Every structure is written in C-alpha cells, then in structure tokens.
Amino acid sequence: MVECRRPEPATAEPVTAEPQDIAAEPAAAEAAALPAHQFVETPAPALAEPAIVPASEPAPEAPVTRAAITMPAVIQRSSPSLPPIGAIEPLQGGDAYEFPSKELLQEPPQGQGFFMTQEQLEQNAGLLESVLEDFGVKGEIIHVRPGPVVTLYEFEPAPGVKSSRVIGLADDIARSMSALSARVAVVPGRNVIGIELPNATRETVYFRELIESGDFQKTGCKLALCLGKTIGGEPVIAELAKMPHLLVAGTTGSGKSVAINTMILSLLYRLKPEECRLIMVDPKMLELSVYDGIPHLLTPVVTDPKKAVMALKWAVREMEDRYRKMSRLGVRNIDGYNQRAAAAREKGAPILATVQTGFEKGTGEPLFEQQEMDLSPMPYIVVIVDEMADLMMVAGKEIEGAIQRLAQMARAAGIHLIMATQRPSVDVITGTIKANFPTRISFQVTSKIDSRTILGEQGAEQLLGQGDMLHMAGGGRIARVHGPFVSDQEVEHVVAHLKTQGRPEYLETVTADEEEEEVEEDQGAVFDKSAIAAEDGNELYDQAVKVVLRDKKCSTSYIQRRLGIGYNRAASLVERMEKDGLVGPANHVGKREIIYGNRDNAPKPESDDLD
C-alpha cells in the first residue's frame, strides 16, 4: 500500500483528481461476488510522473466498512532511451520484410504508481453520498473502482429515484466534490449508476504498453487498432474491419491527432505493405506528412483538397472493380477472394470468367468472351482523412457522395475509412455521414450540442482532454477509454525503419485528373464523356434515327442498348432528334411521340410501312 504525503492535513474535503467523465462499464464478475468490506488488489500500470513518497512501514489497513473497493497494484518499469534514427540499418537486397521493433517506442518511465489509499476512497465515497443526499437523492455507494485516470463510484439509488435525476446533477457533483468535471451514466445490466471523478494524479498511457499487451499480441483481428485503456486499466483493441468505418471528432488539443497516429502505427506493426495499403489525406499539411515515403502508401500524402476528392473517387472505382472480381469468383468478401485466389495459384490452374465485351452493331445483342482472371491478392485499403471540415468546405457534395458510397458498400471490398474532424458541427458531420459511420469516437468537445452531434447524447464535454475519449461501438453502447500517447520522435523512428524495408509503389491514377477521365471513358455505358464530340458525326446519328423509325421506340436506354454506346451519348442523340423534329418531348412517364416527317435529310426507314 502506498500513502500520499500532502502539504496540508487531511480534512473532510474530498480527495479529488482531474475531472473525468464516466464511462459506465459493467462490473467484473469477481468484484460483484465480493461481500461488502472486502479489499481486492488487481494489477494496474504505473504512473508516468509519480509525485509520491512511500511510507517506510505502512500500518495494516482497517477493513473497509462502506464499500467494496478494488485497488490496483504498483508496477515498476525501466526507461531505455530510443535509438538514433541514423542507427537503423537499411534493408539489404533479398532480405525479408521486417516489422518495426518495439524498442523504437518509448517505454514508460520507471516509477511507482499512486493510487488513493483505502481511507481516502472511503472518505470520498461518504462525502459523495452526503452530496447526493443534500440534493434529495438517497442511495448507497456499493463499489469504488480506481483506475489510471478516473475513479468509478457505483451508486445504487433508493427505490423510486429516477436515473435522469442523478445524471442531471453531474455539474453539481463536480462542484461539490471540488473536481473539474464529473460524468454520470447508467451501468448497463446493473442496478447502479456510475459516477466518474478524476484522480489527483493522472497516469499517462503509453503506446508500447498496448503493443506489448497479450490482447494485442494474441488477437485474431485483421486490422487491429490500439484505442487505449478502460477505466480499470484493461487494454482496448478494436477491429477496424468490423466497425467497418470510424469517425473521430474532438477539439484542438483533445488528443485527436495523436489517436490517429496510434491507429496508423497499430496497422504498421502488424501488416506488410502487400497486406494493407494506405491513402492519407492531410489538408493541414502537418500531421501526416511524416509518413511520406513508407512502402504502405498508395500515393504520396494528399494535401490538396481537390486531389483528395479525386482520391475518394478513385476508391469508389476500386471498390466497384473489386466487387466485379469477387462476383466472377463467386465469393462474398475480400478474405474469401484471397483464399480462393491463393488456392488457385497453388494448383497452377487459371480461373476463366465470362465477361461482356460489348454489343453487336447489327442486332445490338451483347457479346461475351472467356477471359483469364487476375489472381493476385487484394490488399486492404485504409483511407485516413485527418481534417474533414476543410474538405467539406471545398467540395461538400462530392465528398459526401463519395463517402456515402464507400461507407455503405466498401466493407466487403476491404476498403475502410478513418475520418477525423475538429469541428463537429452538423454541416461537417451531416446526417448522411452519421448514418453510415456507426462506430464513432469523441474526444473533448466544447458543448453538449457538439457531443450530441457526434454521439447522440451528452457527456463528451465533460472529458479531460489529452486522449480521454468516449468510444461508441456499432450497437450504440458508449464506453470511456483513455487513449495512449505516442511522441513525434517515436513516429519518426518507426517511419525511418519502414523506409529501409522498401520503396512505395505509387499509383498515379489515385490523384491524376487526366487519368480519371480516361478511366471514365473506358467504362463505356457508365462513364461516357464523348457525347458532345459525337455531335459532328452523322453516321452514328443516322443509325439511331433508323432504329427509332424502324422499331417505333425512342428512349435513351433503348438507343444505348441497340447501338452499344454510353448513356451520355445516347441522351445527346435523343435530344438532337427532338431538336430536329423527329421525336416529340418526353411525357410524364418518359415516352416520346415519333414525328418523322419534319426533317428533309432524315434517313428513310428500311420498310415503307411506318404506321
């Protein structure tokens, strides 16, 4: 047990810590089974900057009389310095890919963690009960669970007390307990209300702790992200593939950019470049530019908002192309495709697919042929946007449309989005975007309105900042997580190591405007840009007129099918016929009347019977 020496003698005032939000978490089964007055020790990480002097011979503690209190133990660690960047040897030809070493990350400094003593926790629990009773709320605190950043007090209200009444007292509880903030929320599945108060000494969560944790090492997740630690100090490892997209919001200084860095490093520590490729969009030109040159990038870090729009449109086209490949192979997702393709490569037997190559000019019937499929494995693609508000200002509709398509359909194709913004207003996080991002993370925000915009409920305005977050999973359940810290020096060391493992293979089509237009023209019926240029060619126009006069049908889709041309070109031909007086305007159901006598040079139909 560690005691804290304070400059003033202990009084009846509460022993407070930094303000904290309450992420109500279900109690552990062991703790729930403990009788009252029992003291339990569980392991917890050490504090980054201990300001505590341990007592030489602590006296035996008296038994707890009010609540069952779970106290963490103290852990000591050494703190080796990081190697200089120049000490990293470049990869020699023929060497296998080598993942970054954990030694590139800063180990938590050696020291002792400080946690409030049993008497201090009892004192706070009693004071908290009296504060609630002063506001007319009766009940009892049955458990106290200290953590690295906040302490959770589980309050069991008396019968007839409404939860909303206790939740509404969050600001009054913080004031009465001399805390910067307090978060109050119902603990799911239990008849208790969680009241979270910040600790006097806050522990820093280091990224290396999570990388070395058994949860991260043994996880079977393809795209594992280290989010941080729970209130009780347990690692939180999330699967990006199951989210399948992540929306991050928070004010400046709340830890949002550091969290983006930890997510990127989580992927780089587990996946090779051929397994996961990244597209990074950084309009601020500062946060993600350090990753330029790593072999995982599909394109250099995008800083121009206009090029960011092109990159998102490229991701949409890549998604559609992957869906076509998976459909031909008869699989449902990227994992099934890679497994089927790997099995075919091992056998050495090519897989043939029937592909439509066009239409026969005479009859308009579709043409098919057998083509050998490309069985190269498809890597995961993660699109990371560090500041979405700037993109929405430049091209809001285009960005929103591309994000909507990707968020709705890209999961099975192995394309995932991580989008962050520091302005969580409704014009940035629109209803369309929120509906397609069920998994969201909110760091500290300035108002309850911003918290409701992100999470649908208040609470994020009570967070402590510096990585303190609320994580809303797909089911809508919200948990409080303390994000890890990673310094710029650590990121530079990891990037320097990755640059020695190979050079990036950039795709110029990701952000090239001219290349995009060429791809769109090749798509035929879907992306046809040559409609205007066809105005001068009467040969195709005469063919369209013959089809209309012969079949007595005139619609854009009908001409498109018969002549094997794109939608835009067919629409242009129909408009030209209407202008020349061959067909009438479309009625309310889209049908047009055939008027063929008003054009002198109209080609004669093959049959004289035009009625």
393 has a pLDDT exceeding 60: yes
Count of positions (residues) in the chain: 611
Give pLDDT, residue 435: 84
536 has a pLDDT exceeding 70: no
Q: By the 8 A CB rule, do 562 and 553 touch?
A: no
Is 143 strand, coil or helix? Answer: strand
Average pLDDT over residues 565-588: 83
Give pLDDT, residue 113: 58
DSSP conformational letter for 437: -
Average pLDDT over residues 419-432: 85
Is 136 labelled a binding residue?
no
Average pLDDT over residues 545-573: 85
Give pLDDT, residue 285: 86
Is 569 strand, coil or helix? Answer: helix
The two tokens of residue 105 are 């990350």
CATH number of domain containing 610:
1.10.10.10
pTM for the full model? 0.68
Confidence of residue 537 (pLDDT cuts 50, 70, 90): low
Q: Is residue 584 part of a domain?
A: yes
Write the pLDDT tens digit of every residue in 134-167. 999 999 999 998 888 899 999 999 999 999 999 9
Q: Which residue has the higher pLDDT, 314 or 436?
A: 314
Residue 294 C-alpha from the chain's centroid: 21
What is the secondary structure of 372-427 as a DSSP string? EPP-PPPPEEEEEES-HHHHHHHHHHHHHHHHHHHHHH-TTTTEEEEEEES---TT
Residue type, 139: G
Residue type, 498: L
Confidence of residue 458 (pLDDT cuts 50, 70, 90): confident
Average pLDDT over residues 430-439: 85
d(CA 575, CA 583): 9
272 shares its domain with 250: yes
220 shares its domain with 288: yes
Q: What percent of the chain has pLDDT over 90?
A: 35
Confidence of residue 589 (pLDDT cuts 50, 70, 90): low
Average pLDDT over residues 47-51: 40
CATH number of domain containing 264:
3.40.50.300
Average pLDDT over residues 464-492: 90
Give pLDDT, residue 269: 95
- Residue 17's Cβ-count burial label (10 Å; 0-12, 13-18, 19+) is buried
d(CA 597, CA 191): 83
452 shares its domain with 587: no
Q: Is residue 251 part of a domain?
A: yes
Confidence of residue 560 (pLDDT cuts 50, 70, 90): confident
Confidence of residue 11 (pLDDT cuts 50, 70, 90): very low
Phi/psi at 384 (nearest 5 deg)? -115, 120
Q: In which element (H, E) is residue 237 found?
A: strand 235-239
- Given 153, 177, 198, the domain boundary residue is 198
- Residue 343's Cβ-count burial label (10 Å; 0-12, 13-18, 19+) is exposed
253 has a pLDDT exceeding 60: yes
501 shares its domain with 603: no
Is 362 labelled a binding residue?
no
Q: Is residue 157 part of a domain?
A: yes
Q: Which residue has the higher pLDDT, 599 or 407?
A: 407
174 shares its domain with 57: yes
Residue 144 C-alpha from the chain's centroid: 33
Q: Is residue 349 part of a domain?
A: no
Confidence of residue 282 (pLDDT cuts 50, 70, 90): very high
- Given 510, 543, 563, the domain boundary residue is 510
Of the ranges 36-45, 280-289, 356-365, the best mean pLDDT one:
280-289
Is 511 labelled a binding residue?
no
Q: Which residue has the higher pLDDT, 49 or 242?
A: 242
69 has a pLDDT exceeding 70: no
Write the pLDDT tens digit of every residue in 298-311. 999 999 888 999 99
Angle at 230 between CA 228 and CA 236, to 5 degrees: 45
Give pLDDT, residue 287: 87
490 has a pLDDT exceeding 80: yes
Half-sphere exposure of 235 (CA within 13 A, CB side): 19
141 shares its domain with 255: no
The edge-to-edge listing of strands for the beta sheet with 193-198 is 39-42, 68-72, 139-146, 150-157, 193-198, 183-186
508 has a pLDDT exceeding 70: yes
In which domain, by residue range, is 136 found?
29-76+111-198
Is 201 labelled a binding residue?
no
Q: Is residue 18 part of a domain?
A: no
Average pLDDT over residues 6-17: 42
Is 254 labelled a binding residue?
yes
176 shares its domain with 250: no
The dihedral of CA 407, 420, 287, 481: what is its sign? negative
Q: Which residue has the higher pLDDT, 253 or 6?
A: 253
What is the secondary structure of 17-85 as a DSSP string? BS-------PPPHHHHHSPTT-EEEE--PPPSS------SSPPPPPPPSS-EEEEE-------PPPPPG
d(CA 306, CA 302): 9
Give pLDDT, residue 50: 38
448 shares its domain with 560: no
Confidence of residue 533 (pLDDT cuts 50, 70, 90): very low
Give pLDDT, residue 21: 44
Residue 172: partners with Cβ closer than 8 Å, 6 or more residues away: 131, 135
Lowest-confidence region among 265-274, 376-385, 492-501, 528-537: 528-537
Average pLDDT over residues 567-576: 86
Query: Which residue, among 256, 274, 261, 275, has the nearest Cα to 225 in the 3D structure?
Result: 261
245 has a pLDDT exceeding 90: yes
Of the ranges 49-58, 97-106, 456-465, 542-551, the best mean pLDDT one:
97-106
Q: By the 8 A CB rule, do 49 and 485 touch?
A: no
Task: Work out how many domains the chain is built from and give that number.
Answer: 3
- Given 147, 179, 198, the domain boundary residue is 198
89 has a pLDDT exceeding 70: no
Write the pLDDT tens digit of every residue in 301-349. 999 888 999 999 999 999 999 998 898 888 999 999 999 999 988 888 7
Confidence of residue 125 (pLDDT cuts 50, 70, 90): very high
125 shares its domain with 165: yes
d(CA 135, CA 573): 77
Average pLDDT over residues 261-278: 94
Residue 445: partners with Cβ closer than 8 Å, 6 or more residues away: 249, 250, 251, 254, 424, 451, 454, 460, 461, 463
DSSP conformational letter for 527: S
Q: Which residue has the higher pLDDT, 501 or 86?
A: 501
Give pLDDT, residue 40: 39
- Cβ of 387: how many Cβ atoms within 10 Å? 24
Q: Is residue 238 part of a domain?
A: yes
Confidence of residue 423 (pLDDT cuts 50, 70, 90): confident
CATH number of domain containing 131:
3.30.980.40
Average pLDDT over residues 105-113: 74
Lowest-confidence region among 193-197, 246-250, 354-358, 433-437: 354-358
The dihedral of CA 72, 78, 79, 83: what is its sign? negative
Is 255 labelled a binding residue?
yes
272 has a pLDDT exceeding 90: yes
Give pLDDT, residue 549: 86
Q: Is residue 20 part of a domain?
A: no
238 shares its domain with 268: yes
> What is the chain's mean pLDDT, rounded?
78
Helix segments in 177-255, DSSP class H? 207-212, 214-218
Q: Which residue has the higher pLDDT, 359 or 115?
A: 359
597 has a pLDDT exceeding 60: no
455 shares its domain with 593: no
123 shares its domain with 214: no
Q: Which residue has the higher pLDDT, 543 or 380?
A: 380
Q: Which long-range contacts (CB under 8 A, 24 or more apart) does 523-529 make?
A: 524/358, 524/566, 525/560, 525/565, 525/566, 525/567, 526/566, 526/567, 527/566, 528/565, 528/566, 528/567, 528/568, 528/569, 529/568
Is 250 labelled a binding residue?
yes
